């Protein structure tokens, strides 16, 4: 399968791996993410990752099975007046 662009919006400029797993539909809770990461091979930028608190930044690549996600911070192009 090709690469899937996953966009997020955050004041911190990152998203936690456990939140990514929830929003992408892989898990439902942070506790479930902990178990999931022990049982399923998740790669972040090519390295195995088992920390649910791992910070994902714009440009990071997450691979789960055949799915590859490009993490992208959502940019609001509208300016406030």
The pLDDT tens digits for 12-37 are 899 999 999 999 999 998 889 999 99
What pLDDT is recorded for position 79? 47
What pLDDT is recorded for position 28? 93
- Structure tokens given for 23: 């929003």
Burial class (CB in 10 A: 0-12, 13-18, 19+), 18: buried
- Structure tokens given for 45: 């930028």
Confidence of residue 1 (pLDDT cuts 50, 70, 90): low
Q: Which of 34, 37, 45 is nearest to 69 (CA)?
A: 45
Asked if pLDDT for residue 78 goes beyond 60, the answer is no
Q: What percent of the chain has pLDDT over 70?
A: 90
Report the pLDDT averaged over residues 46-68: 95
Report the pLDDT averaged over residues 46-63: 96
């Amino acid at each position: 399968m090709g690469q899937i662009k996953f966009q997020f919006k955050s004041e911190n400029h990152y998203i936690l791996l456990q939140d990514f797993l929830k929003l992408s539909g892989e898990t439902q809770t942070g506790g479930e993410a902990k178990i999931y990461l022990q049982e399923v091979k998740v790669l972040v930028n090519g390295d195995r990752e088992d920390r649910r608190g791992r910070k994902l930044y714009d440009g990071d690549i997450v691979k789960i099975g055949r799915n590859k996600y490009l993490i992208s911070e959502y940019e609001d192009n509208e300016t406030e007046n």
